[in-house]
Structure 1
Amino acid sequence: MTARATQPRPAKPAPRTLRSTLTSPFGRKVRIAIEVLDLAGRIEVVPADTRDEGDSLRAQNPLGKMPCLLLDDGTALYDSRVIIEYLDRWSGRDALLPAPALTRAVAQTRAALADGIADAALLMVYEGRFREPAQISQVWLAHQRGKVERGLAEMSANLPDANVTDIVSISLACALGYLDWRKPVEWRGRYPALTGWLEAFAAHEPAFNATRMPQEVTA
C-alpha cells in the first residue's frame, strides 16, 4: 500500500502594508501591536488621506477609513480590532487576546468601549473642523461628550492591568492619548485613576511612547 504523500499546508497571507496616518488613534493601536509582536521590519506604514477621492484607500476599504492592512495575497483587512486579532494569530504570539471564547469576547467588548471613546472624541473634533461656527451643533457635541464621559467612568471603575499589554490596554491608552492631544474634553482632573493608569502603562510599554502623535502635525 502506497503511503499518502503529506501535502504542505498553504502559507498564511503575510501582512505587507498598513494604510494609516501617524495621528489616527486607531492606526496607533495597530502600530503598537506591530511593535509588540516584533513585526516592525515586515510591515510598511503608508500614509492615507481619507478626504482625497483619488487615494487608493477607497479601493482598499470601500468605507475609506483607516487603518487598513494589506496582505501579500491582495486581501485587505480593516477595523483596528480585526487587524490586531489577525496580526496576533499570524505572528504565532497569541499575546494580545485571550483564548477562551467568553474571556476573548469580554476583552473585545472592553476594547470596543475604549474605541467608542476615541470615536466620539473624533466626531467632536470633526464637528469643529468641518462646519462653519454658526453650524456647529451643541446638542451633537453634548451627545458625543456623554459617550466619552460614560466610557471613561466605566473604564475608571474597572481598569485593565497597566503591566499587561493586550487589546484592552492598547485601546484604552490610545483613546486617552487622543484625548490628551486633541483635548475635546478635559479628563485628567476628573478621572485621576485613569491618569495614574496611563502613566503606569506608558512606563511599562515602550511602544506607547514610540508611537506618540507628532506634535507638529495638525491634521
Structure 2
Amino acid sequence: MDLYFAAASPFVRKVMVVLHETGQLADVNVIDSVQTPLAPNPANKNPLGKIPSLTRPEGPALYDSRVICRYLADRAGADLIPPARQWEVQTLEATGDGIMDAGVLMVYEHRFRPAELQYGAYVDGQWAKIARALDALEERWISHLSGPLDLGQISVGCALGYLDFRHHDRGWRDGRDALARWFERFGARPSMQETRPV
C-alpha cells in the first residue's frame, strides 16, 4: 500500500498513529506528497488533492483520514470504534478532526493569502471554534479520553499536537488542566512520539 504523506499534516499523523498502534507500519510505503490548496500533487490518487490518501491492491484509493483509519483498524482487527461506544467515539473523533480543520485553515490564511487580503476576524473565528471544542473536551470528555484506546482519542491527541506545533502561542492549555494532563500522558505513547512533526 502507498500512503501519500506530509509530516506536518495532523490528518496524516492520525493515520500514522493508527499504523503504529495496529502494527501495520511495515505494510505501507510512505510517499512524501507535500502540496498546497494552490498546488496539489498530481501523483496523489485523491481527486480532491488532499492528503492523506492510501492506495491498496484490492480497490480504489481511499482518502479522508476517517476512512483510512477505519480501513486500517478493520484490516488489523483492531477495536478502535467499539460498538458499545461507537457514537461517543465518532463524536470525539469529529471534535478532534474539527480542531485540526480550524487549525489548518488558520495556517492557510497566513500562508497562502496575500498579506493585504488576510482577514484577522476569520482567523479569530477559527480559533473561537477550537477554544469551544477544547472547553467541551475539558468539561465533558476527560473520562472517555482516559479509557481504552480508540479513534476519538487518537484524533484529539493529534489535534492537540498540531496546536502545539502550529499555534503554541495561543496557550490552549490555559484553564484546561485536566486536558493538559491527559495530553501529557497520551503524548508519551510511542506512536505519538514516533509521529511528532518537526
Q: Same fold, TM exceeding 0.5? A: yes
The 4+ residue runs of structure 1 with deviation greater than 2 A are: 49-55, 160-165
State the partner residue of 1:67: 52
Q: Root-mean-square deviation (CA), in Å?
A: 1.6
State the partner residue of 2:43: 56
State the partner residue of 2:136: 154
State the partner residue of 1:212: 196
Match of 1:116 among 78, 86, 98: 98
Change (3 A) 1:72 1:187: same
TM-score by length of structure 2 reads 0.91
Aligned residue pairs, count: 193
Equivalents in 2 of 1:68, 1:136: separation in Å? Answer: 30
State the partner residue of 1:142: 124
CA contact (8 A) 2:138 2:176 kept: yes
CA contact (8 A) 1:30 1:84 kept: yes
Equivalents in 1 of 2:25, 2:11: separation in Å? Answer: 17
CA contact (8 A) 1:48 1:55 kept: no
The structure whose residues are more often helix, as a share, is: 2
Equivalents in 2 of 1:163, 1:99: separation in Å? Answer: 15
Per-residue CA deviations over 1:33-59 (Å, capped at 9, x if unaligned) read 0011110111111111323455211xx
State the partner residue of 1:127: 109
- Structure possessing the higher radius of gyration over alpha carbons: 1
State the partner residue of 1:76: 61
Partner amino acid for 1:46? I
How big is the shift at 1:149? 0.5
Change (3 A) 1:190 1:136: farther
Partner amino acid for 1:56? A
Per-residue CA deviations over 1:11-37 (Å, capped at 9, x if unaligned) read xxxxx1111111110000000000111
Unaligned runs of 5+ in 1: 1-15, 215-219
Equivalents in 2 of 1:30, 1:176: separation in Å? Answer: 15
CA contact (8 A) 2:11 2:65 kept: yes
* Larger RCO of the pair (alpha carbons < 8 Å, separation 6+): 2
Match of 1:90 among 75, 93, 110: 75
Equivalents in 1 of 2:159, 2:103: separation in Å? Answer: 9
Equivalents in 2 of 1:111, 1:74: separation in Å? Answer: 25
TM-score by length of structure 1 reads 0.83
Match of 2:83 among 99, 103, 127: 99
Unaligned runs of 5+ in 2: none
Per-residue CA deviations over 1:60-112 (Å, capped at 9, x if unaligned) read 111101111111135111111111111111112x3211124xx3133112101
Partner amino acid for 1:95? D
How big is the shift at 1:135? 1.4
